[in-house]
Amino acid sequence: TEYFSRMRKFQNYLNSKADKEKPLNLIFQHFFGEKEMRSNQESEMQSVKINVKDGGKERYEWLNIECCRYCSISKVFHININWVVCSGCKVG
């Protein structure tokens, strides 16, 4: 479906920017003849860390993205994006 195609593009984009050791791995479920997800699968989350280049400043920035592992056309997909900024003069 078009929805899954766009979600795969989203996954590929995030994985191209993320740490290579822990990529996102979305599991696509159509639910046409497949069993419904168990409630623990619906809430199973995964996360990926993306380093953000700051243009030469002495500051570290990264995105921590947490999202559902299972992607279905019949369920809500949750995604949390946290932008973390850390500066040596502020930490101590």
User: pLDDT of 5-43, one tens digit each?
Assistant: 998 998 999 899 888 888 888 888 876 544 555 555 666
Q: Which helix (H) or strand (E) holds 3?
A: helix 2-17
Distance CA 69, CA 10 (A): 13
Whether 71 and 30 have beta carbons less than 8 Å apart is answered as no
Query: Which residues, other chains included, contact 42 with Cβ-Cβ below 8 Å and sequence gap of 6+?
Result: 68, 70, 75
Could you read off the pLDDT of 43-92 as tens digits, one per residue? 688 888 888 875 666 667 888 889 888 888 777 788 898 988 776 555 55
In this prediction the pTM is 0.69
